[in-house]
Copies of this chain bind each other. A is one copy, B any other.
Amino acid sequence: MQFSAMCQNLLGEGETANYVTTGSWSEGAIAEAKKYCIPNEVTNNKKHKYTTVDDPSTWNVDPNAKFMHYCRNETIQGLEFHEFPYHVVPENQLLISDMSSDFCSKKIDWHKHAMVYAGAQKNVGPAGVCITIIREDLIVKGQMRPNTPMLCDWHKYASAPNTFQNTPSCWSIYMAGLNLKFMNDRGLDAITAEAEHKSGMFYDFMENSNGYYSNGVDAKYRSCMNIPFRVAKGDDAVEKKFLGEATAAGLIDLKGHRSVGGLRASIYNAMPEEGVQALMDFMTKFKKENN
């Protein structure tokens, strides 16, 4: 929904926005933006099969765009900005980030961002909630474009702290609240350290597999949350066997997104180190039996 809402609330007639394309979610964002403007695609890493990002010095940035949008972590391709190249953002241009899949796994540089949004269903809570944090001066009454549904009107939400435009997904919000409290007690630094440790051991493990397991993403952009990988260089039959045996061993949801195939290990905050270890143990055994 925020794909539309950010355009509907921020873009006036004739204004445009910069979009950084690094995977499926950025592609979704720019597709939606085309309904509201002619978006400027700053860079597109499809030519690299989404495994890296062109050097930011080569990006085609429109200095007159209203905002620049990027997705911090691409779940399908497993590509994450550990630090966005803030220097490419023109002064006074708003920076917007879709942090759906790595929200609450690492710090956000609030001084750099005008708006951050995140579906809750990864690290925060159950599906049914989208957390949207917007710089206060950007929430202006009546600024939304004509034909904007009430539920996309930021000002309506912000101006009604004691009421609602609709009946929200109460249970999901309540559960997210409990988990936010839990994470807050734990501290973000500890959570970040654990995320880096869990994903790091898995990348290391694959690097030591003599190419039997592989993740093609540039080390600089490797995701701490989602790690797509191939088995036996992407041999269909072997990957199917892997998935079947893994599922039988209780290691579930390892199928890669249908748009890219292969396998994928998602290591959100709720996945304990023991879970990653169990997967690696299985993979060691599978390799021994099948290589």
1/0 per residue A103-133: CB within 8 Å of B? 0000000000000000101000011100000
Point out the residue from B32, B146, B152, B172 that lies within 8 Å of A172, measured CB to CB: B172
Interface residue A219 (Cβ < 8 Å from any Cβ of B): no
Which candidate, A47-55, A162-170, A190-198, A270-278, is the interface stretch facing chain B?
A162-170
Interface residue A93 (Cβ < 8 Å from any Cβ of B): no
> Would you call B1 and A128 a contact (CB within 8 A)?
no
> Would you call A35 and B146 a contact (CB within 8 A)?
yes
> Would you call A1 and B127 a contact (CB within 8 A)?
no
> Would you call B4 and A121 a contact (CB within 8 A)?
no
Identify the closest chain B residue to A170 (Cβ). Answer: B127
1/0 per residue A145-186: CB within 8 Å of B? 111111110000000000000111111100000000000000
> Would you call A166 and B119 a contact (CB within 8 A)?
yes
> Would you call B171 and A4 a contact (CB within 8 A)?
no
1/0 per residue A1-22: CB within 8 Å of B? 1011100100000000000000
Contacts of A149 in B (CB 8 A): 1, 3-5, 8, 32, 35, 149, 152
A5 to B148, CA, bound (A): 11
> Would you call A170 and B126 a contact (CB within 8 A)?
yes
> Would you call A1 and B167 a contact (CB within 8 A)?
no
> Would you call B171 and A126 a contact (CB within 8 A)?
yes
> Would you call B35 and A169 a contact (CB within 8 A)?
no
Interface residue A36 (Cβ < 8 Å from any Cβ of B): yes
Point out the residue from B4, B147, B172 that lies within 8 Å of A151, measured CB to CB: B4
Looking at chain A, what size class is its interface with the partner chain? 20 to 34
Contacts of A32 in B (CB 8 A): 149-150
> Would you call A150 and B119 a contact (CB within 8 A)?
no
Identify the closest chain B residue to A151 (Cβ). Answer: B1
A36 to B147, CA, bound (A): 6
Identify the closest chain B residue to A36 (Cβ). Answer: B147
A140 to B208, CA, bound (A): 52
> Would you call B168 and A128 a contact (CB within 8 A)?
yes
> Would you call B3 and A127 a contact (CB within 8 A)?
no
Point out the residue from B121, B151, B171 that lies within 8 Å of A128, measured CB to CB: B171
* Closest CB in chain B relative to A99 CB, distance in Å: 15
* Closest CB in chain B relative to A102 CB, distance in Å: 15
Contacts of A121 in B (CB 8 A): 167
A-B contact pairs, 13 of them (CB 8 A): A1-B151, A3-B149, A4-B151, A5-B149, A35-B148, A35-B149, A126-B170, A127-B168, A127-B171, A128-B170, A128-B171, A147-B148, A149-B149
Given contact pairs A126-B171, A128-B168, enumerate 15 new A-B contacts (beta carbons under 8 Å): A1-B166, A4-B150, A8-B149, A32-B150, A35-B147, A35-B148, A119-B167, A121-B167, A126-B170, A128-B128, A147-B148, A149-B149, A149-B152, A169-B169, A172-B172
